[in-house]
Structure 1
Amino acid sequence: MDKKRRKKTSIKTEIQDPKKTVSLSTVTELIGSGERCGIITKKFQFLPQYGIGYFQTHKFEGLSITIYDVLLEKNLIVEGKLYDNFLEMSFLIEGEQIIKIEGITKDLVYESQECYLLYLENIKGSISYHKRKRLKEVKIRMSTDFIKRHKLDEEYNILEKHSLLKLQSKFLNPLCSKTQNILSEILSDQRKGLLKRLFLESKVLELVTLKIDTATTNIITNNLPPIDNLVKKLYQVQHMISSDLSVQYSIHQLSREIGLNDFILKKEFKALFGKTIFEYATKLRMEKARQLLLHSKKPIYEISELVGYKNSTHFTAAFKKIEGTTPKKYRSNLEN
């Protein structure tokens, strides 16, 4: 960041402590930095008395990606006024934040398994984080140059549709399984240099695409009620099912995991996703099986285990019921 921009941006960070107020630079230390192929990476570790964990940033050509993973030992308040305009995506994998924004009277409670896409212009406000709670978040900022380069506003009018002033407090959405899978890829990626840069940019555009798709199906609207606990729990079930298809969860296991009774879970899952849990899981299993049959040379018994069937005979029967043919014949037809 150049000197001119530093003068225009005022950020104040406080630790709630009856004895003192300190800056973010006081509670963290730089433990790694570097630049390669135009991507600048910095990693900061929290000092033990303030938290156990880190935050890391990757910056290049109008794109900034910050990953937070820390268990705070003290309450943290970040206050600031930002003069730059940018498109921001945030994905709160774990934790809770209280967001106060000047011009919006109601405090916004941002909770685990939620996300947002907002265009921010000259905003002032604060974010509060609670002690003894883990904060795990991926935050992405895209400059107006980045937006123009990828024609996001030209094609989708994204700045107006996702303006904070237009959406006010109704901009939070639950994390869907596709989003969680992309986030998992970002968090586990070990690439360096140009490959890292290309990977991150592609994943950011993939996340933006998902958010635009969400907007076009009217999930984000000015009439959207606040996300309740039930919807978030249902999306949690969706993610559990889709993240590891080799596991076949029973309704009771899923109910116990998210804290809902069996009847409510079955009823509300079908109302939200249009399929029963069994139908939804089977659809995903058969989609993955088709891909493996098409793009791999794995034997049928191994594909069977990968999609959650310990017995290949049961897998063959389930596949034939949906596809009208056995996995072996399906693969043979593709090869001919």
Structure 2
Amino acid sequence: MDKKRRDKERSKTLHLEKQKRCTLRTVTELIKSQEHCGVRSRKFKFSPEFGDGYFEYNHFDGLFIGIFDVSLKKDVKTYARSSINALELSYLIDGEQIIRIDGKNHDFIYESQESYLVYITQASGSIQYHKNKYFKEVKIRMYPDFIQKHKLNSTYGISKKYALDKIDQNSIQPLCSKTQEILTELLTDTRQGLLKRLFLESKVLELLALHLDMDKGTKTEVSNTDHLIKKLYEVQFIISSDLTIQYSVHELARKVGLNDFMLKKEFKRVFATTIFEYALQLRMTKAKKLLNHSKKPIYEISELVGYKNSTHFTAAFKKIEGITPKKYRQKGLQTT
């Protein structure tokens, strides 16, 4: 019976992928396809007439992880009908979607720095994307095998609690800083084969645990404040996603549409630290990891954490840690 059930679910999964390919075929072309240790990977490039960017996914053991990264030149509206059972977890890092679910009397506006969790059975509807807008989304689908393996239904009752007919605008949550850190790891990962399987599964479980924990706990100011808080979290993500770049407050303010004074004031109020202190802490944390766990030279580490001049990096590191990077590395070697 287990084999029959698995075959049935696999058939449904393949049917869904076929539907997706039919939708994507009109706007993309396949540029990469491979399979290692059961991890099936595909990457599609958007046709130039529709946009500049890509869609890629990894799929294994009842787990699907897709990434959209594109700047659209045309309005795109996709329509889909699904009859599978899957828990869908979406993270919209940048952009906007207008989601219409058949049977619902209003659309959902899904915006930058937001996420949702929903259990899909039979459903149909459309998603609209606007041209001249950058769009970046991480979409995760967990199928019955994965759900059963991790006892998500028996423990959390996710199929009922997150049923599609219960979703409303309040089901959409803002991205917290921890979620952004995990997403950055997913987006920059280069592992292959078994290591990739283990890494992807562990990160999906981390993201799911964070979302379930947020639902269980009391709502914080983040979930009760709209655009301003989302913009502050977006600033956090911009800084943490590429530490090689040292953004000025003015540059960050322009990217999220705030004035300099408001950004500095509200960032300090919400996160209890300045933008400079937040970025510096991230840089020093990454630098210490590289010093302890790699053989990269100091000058290369300084570039990886945003310092073009290794002398400036050494001075900043010593000010925070009390010793130079070289002595910090030597000390770490002595204690191992």
Global fold match (TM > 0.5): yes
Aligned match of 1:310 in 301, 312, 317?
312
Number of residue equivalences: 322
> 1:91–1:137: 8 Å Cα contact kept in structure 2?
yes
> 1:96–1:110: 8 Å Cα contact kept in structure 2?
yes
Give TM-score scaled by structure 2 length.
0.74
Shift of the alpha carbon at 1:234?
0.4
Same amino acid, percent of matched pairs? 51
AA of the residue aligned to 1:211: H
Query: What secondary structure does 1:83 align onto?
Result: strand
Tell me the distance in 2 between the aligned counterparts of 1:102 and 1:318: 56
> 1:39–1:58: 8 Å Cα contact kept in structure 2?
yes
Aligned match of 1:232 in 221, 230, 233?
230
* Within-5 A mapping of 1:151-166: 151-166=151-166
Shift of the alpha carbon at 1:59?
1.9
> 2:92–2:112: 8 Å Cα contact kept in structure 1?
yes
Give TM-score scaled by structure 1 length.
0.74
Change (3 A) 1:162 1:331: farther
Shift of the alpha carbon at 1:83?
1.9
Shift of the alpha carbon at 1:75?
2.4
Shift of the alpha carbon at 1:29?
3.9
Aligned match of 1:274 in 267, 272, 275?
272
* Within-5 A mapping of 1:244-283: 244-245=242-243, 249-283=247-281
AA of the residue aligned to 2:260: D
CA RMSD of aligned residues (A): 4.1
Shift of the alpha carbon at 1:77?
1.8
Query: What secondary structure does 2:170 align onto?
Result: coil
Shift of the alpha carbon at 1:87?
0.9
Query: What secondary structure does 1:271 align onto?
Result: helix
AA of the residue aligned to 1:179: T
Shift of the alpha carbon at 1:44?
3.6
Query: What secondary structure does 1:106 align onto?
Result: coil
* Within-5 A mapping of 1:129-208: 129-208=129-208
> 1:10–1:80: 8 Å Cα contact kept in structure 2?
no
Q: Is 2:39 aligned against 1:39?
A: yes
Shift of the alpha carbon at 1:65?
1.9
> 1:101–1:124: 8 Å Cα contact kept in structure 2?
yes
Residues 194-203 or 121-130, more deviating? 194-203
| 1:227-271 Cα distance to aligned partner (Å, 9 max, x none) | 632122101221233345566555444334433223322332233
Tell me the distance in 2 between the aligned counterparts of 1:28 and 1:299: 42
> 2:314–2:324: 8 Å Cα contact kept in structure 1?
no
Change (3 A) 1:248 1:79: closer
For 2:211, the equivalent position in structure 1 comes to: 211
Aligned match of 2:12 in 2, 5, 13?
5
Residues 96-105 or 326-335, more deviating? 326-335
Residues 98-107 or 238-247, more deviating? 238-247
Query: What secondary structure does 2:171 align onto?
Result: coil
For 2:63, the equivalent position in structure 1 comes to: 63
Q: Which has the larger radius of gyration?
A: 1
Q: Which runs of 5+ in 1 are unaligned?
A: 14-21
For 2:88, the equivalent position in structure 1 comes to: 88
> 1:301–1:312: 8 Å Cα contact kept in structure 2?
no
Which has the larger helix fraction? 2
AA of the residue aligned to 1:5: K
Shift of the alpha carbon at 1:129?
1.5
For 2:104, the equivalent position in structure 1 comes to: 104
> 1:89–1:118: 8 Å Cα contact kept in structure 2?
yes
